[in-house]
Every structure is written in structure tokens, then in C-alpha cells.
């Protein structure tokens, strides 16, 4: 089995490492981390322009159809620079969950602005009494009309 990076993967890795080098010197990162948003909207838009927000989504969903190894190269560079933008939470967790489980109308409404960097997504799964214990969840969903009504409280979004 060949584990060597393809030319495209080397270019992806190099561009991600360059992005981190140019945008995440220590003092700039500290300023972003203590800002009201906690990250840079400009960096998020740049990530969208570079195609990184589209990378893990299928072409049918408006993405680039990247593989896990491609995403790993981005995440390695992001981790090396302690990147603050919510790539893991918004794109890989919430966005991929929507792509996998959303119906066509939900995907059409929410994936394009997410991939374009115009919208963020978050999973609301932790509750104050259980934090990461899903068995302790008290939030309930009940059918209501043509949809569902959620009732509960989430502490980490």
C-alpha cells in the first residue's frame, strides 16, 4: 500500500501550512482568541475561498468530494497553529451530519451557505446535568404538525 502524498495533497498541505504561518503568529492568535467572536470571520471566508469548507462534502452536495486523508492534512496544519476557526465543529461535525442525515430540502437550504462560509453550524448535544453523558439527556422531541418540537436546554453549542 502506497502512503505517499499525491501532488494535490502536497499542494493542499503546503497551502494550509502557509495559511497558518501567515495568519497565526502568537500575538495575533491571542487577540483573536480574546475577541468577542473568538475567531476571525476573515479567516473563515478565506478558508471558503480556498475550498477547504467544501472539501469534505460530496460533489452532489456542492462540495469537492475530498477524502479523509485530505481533511487530515488540513486538520494537522490547523492543529499545528492552534487555529481558532470552527472547522471541526461547524464543517466536520455539524455540516457532515447534516449532509448524511438531512433531507434534500434541509441540505439545499443549509449546506450552500455553510460551504460558502456565510453561515456556521453547531451541534447542540451537551446538557448541564450530563455534559457529555448522552444517557443523561433530558431534551425531548415531540411531533407537532408537520415537524417536531424540541424541548430542553443545551449548555455547550
- Each residue of 83-124: pLDDT tens digit? 999 999 999 999 999 999 999 999 999 999 999 999 999 988
Q: What is the mean pLDDT of the chain?
A: 94
Which residue from 105, 47, 107 is spatially nearest to 77, judged by alpha carbons?
47
Which residue from 1, 91, 106 is spatially nearest to 48, judged by alpha carbons?
91
- pLDDT tens, residue by residue, 121-145: 998 878 887 767 778 888 899 999 9
Residues 48 and 95: their CA atoms lie apart, in Å, by: 14
Q: Are residues 109 and 129 in the same domain?
A: no
Q: Averaged over 61-80, what is the pLDDT? A: 97
Q: Averaged over 40-54, what is the pLDDT? A: 97
Q: Are residues 111 and 128 in the same domain?
A: no
Indicate the pairing of strand 140-144 with strand 147-151: antiparallel
The SS3 call for residue 140 is strand
Q: Are residues 87 and 144 in the same domain?
A: no
Q: Are residues 134 and 104 in the same domain?
A: no
- pLDDT tens, residue by residue, 11-42: 999 999 999 999 999 999 999 999 999 999 99
Q: Are residues 78 and 132 in the same domain?
A: no
Q: Are residues 75 and 144 in the same domain?
A: no
pLDDT at 1: 78
Q: Are residues 64 and 106 in the same domain?
A: yes
152: left (phi over 0), alpha (psi -120 to 50) or beta: left
Q: Are residues 15 and 50 in the same domain?
A: yes
Q: Are residues 144 and 97 in the same domain?
A: no
pLDDT at 52: 98
* Count of domains for the chain: 2
Amino acid at each position: 500500500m502506497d502512503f505517499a502524498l499525491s501532488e494535490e495533497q502536497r499542494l493542499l498541505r503546503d497551502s494550509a501550512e502557509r495559511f497558518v504561518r501567515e495568519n497565526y503568529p502568537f500575538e495575533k492568535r491571542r487577540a483573536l482568541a480574546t475577541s468577542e467572536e473568538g475567531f476571525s470571520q476573515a479567516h473563515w471566508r478565506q478558508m471558503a475561498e480556498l475550498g477547504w469548507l467544501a472539501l469534505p462534502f460530496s460533489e452532489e452536495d456542492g462540495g469537492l468530494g475530498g477524502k479523509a486523508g485530505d481533511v487530515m492534512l488540513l486538520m494537522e496544519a490547523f492543529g499545528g497553529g492552534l487555529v481558532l476557526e470552527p472547522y471541526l465543529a461547524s464543517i466536520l461535525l455539524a455540516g457532515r451530519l447534516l449532509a448524511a442525515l438531512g433531507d434534500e430540502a434541509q441540505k439545499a437550504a443549509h449546506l450552500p451557505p455553510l460551504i460558502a462560509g456565510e453561515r456556521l453550524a453547531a451541534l447542540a448535544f451537551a446538557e448541564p446535568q450530563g455534559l457529555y453523558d448522552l444517557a443523561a439527556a433530558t431534551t425531548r422531541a415531540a411531533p407537532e404538525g408537520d415537524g417536531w418540537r424540541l424541548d430542553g436546554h443545551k449548555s455547550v453549542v
